[in-house]
Structure 1
Amino acid sequence: MQHTFDFAPVLDAWPALLQGALQTLKISGISMALGLCLGIIFMLMRMSPVKAVSAVALAYIEVIRNTPFLVQVFFIFFGMPSLGITLTAEQAAILAMTLNCAAYSAEIVRGGVESIRKGQIEAGRALGLHTFDVYRYIIFRPAIRAVYPALCSQFILMMLNSSLVASVSAEELTYVGQSIDAETFRSFEVYFVLGVIYLALSQFFSIVLQLIGKAYFSYPTK
């Protein structure tokens, strides 16, 4: 059976695809920012000398990293209403992506923090730096600089995984593509175009993250 390719019906729906792409950027951007902040908190808990605090953080990280992301999305959207917590599809998507990102970010950042030599921290304290400044300039900034490429890769992977939240009707790019496919029955054309758009979004995120890295985490040049 010969298939006649026709991209016109898909391209005619470009306003919906653009809106879906923007929604993907929105959900992913919010989740990245919240996930990194939450990940740093769990990283500090994970490295806490208090065993109970460290155990809670470790349990959270292991549960998130060893269960499918799609199951996490379903649990938040379909399971939490049984506890009296009902979220919209977009809210559930952001929460699931944030929690998932936090677990991976915590371990990535922890690897960077553990690479900082204790002598550097002691030197900072000997110079009279405040504890906050020691954490800011001697621990966190060099640590994030060391693991920044890994964080960028994780963020881009999370953006691509955002396609899974279409399963709970979050109106991002994949959900829009599924709607167009249902109307036009042009599955090949729809998902080919979606693949191209996701590739473009990945490149966009990569460029933005590189610019952020150069602005905040690059070594000063003479």
Structure 2
Amino acid sequence: MNPSVSIVLPAYNEEALIGPMLDHVVNVMTTNGFDYEILVVDDGSSDRTAAIVQKQAAENSRIQLIRHEQNRGSGAAMLTGFAAAQKELVFLTDADMQFDVGEIIVLLAVMGRADIAAGYRYPRRDPFVRCLYAQGWHMLVTLFFGKSARDINCAFKLMRKAVIDALRNDIKSQGAMFSAEFLIRARRAGFAVVNVPVHGHRPRTAGTPTGANPAVIAKSMVELVRLRLSMCRKA
């Protein structure tokens, strides 16, 4: 039986990359004979991201555009995509062409013993400062909550829809803390998380990353503390 997969692509001002990214995803899915749908969540883009997706959706009924009228954050975009997913498995990746989606096969290979296959970038092809921020964030989340995943914010994850259905109403984070909260809650709920190396990570070639934005970092810190306090109250 061919895998049944919902591909969730959060996108924010990715007009230079979203078209090639959709072509890439469609090619991988059709080559491997997947039963698939592609859910692009446009998180309030001010460029032509939505228009490009609409054009490709008109030519391929498996592509669906979901729009946030205002930018709500990467976590909110992921959660919107997760809520709309209809397939047995849900695959999360970014729209910035930094991953070879063909490596989804590596994630699929561990799903016999995993509820979430969490990719980790090996090696990671981001600028030094961004890698430094990521390492500090990983250490902080681990200090507060214990081990969750080897590469918390890696946007290359495959999970069972049942995991999303069990957790999505509990998750409050809207920004970059979303992935950490999702993994923390998944582990505490008893779901199996398996770390998988992803070798095809590439540098971003267009668009502007937001992970190192001071406002994004500040929001993440607030959400981290809020989650910690919430879990302490329930303990």
- Identify which of structures 1 and 2 has the higher relative contact order when contacts are C-alpha pairs closer than 8 Å and 6+ apart: 1
Larger Rg over CA atoms: 1
1 or 2, which has the higher helix percentage?
1
Task: State if a TM-score over 0.5 links the two structures.
Answer: no
